[in-house]
Amino acid sequence: MIKMMYSFMMAAFISTMLMIACFIISKKTIIDREKMSPFECGFDPKSSSRIPFSSQFFLIAVLFLIFDIEIVIILPMILTIKMSNMYLWFITCISFMIILLVGVFHEWKNGVLEWTK
């Protein structure tokens, strides 16, 4: 019991020290106009410093992440095929694939997968 309490106190102490160190290091300096303006060799910028972001690219990136995570979910199913009931395993895999296909068809129908319009 003493070892567990000692470990908890050490973990709390280390966490507190790290939070205090991060708080001290992250102090921001006084922000002035020159530091906030974009750097262009000392001249005033001629155009906006913000680059327009393509929402289509964002949607494709989100879809990629979703399907990447789904692959991580599918891979352990291959390893569990020998240890589980074949009928339940088959139903689980088929329902998962149907959900994936319905999602892809929904995105396709809404035109998210079309890059040019």
Domains of the chain: 2-110 (1.20.58)
The whole-angstrom separation of Cα 14 and Cα 17 is 5
Distance of CA 23 to the CA centre of its chain: 25
Residue 27 — very low, low, confident or very high, per pLDDT cuts 50/70/90? low
Helix (H, G, I), strand (E, B) or coil at 82: coil
Tell me the whole-structure pTM to 2 decimals.
0.46
Instruction: Answer yes or no: are the C-beta atoms of 51 and 66 closer than 8 Å.
Output: no
Residue 98: what pLDDT? 92
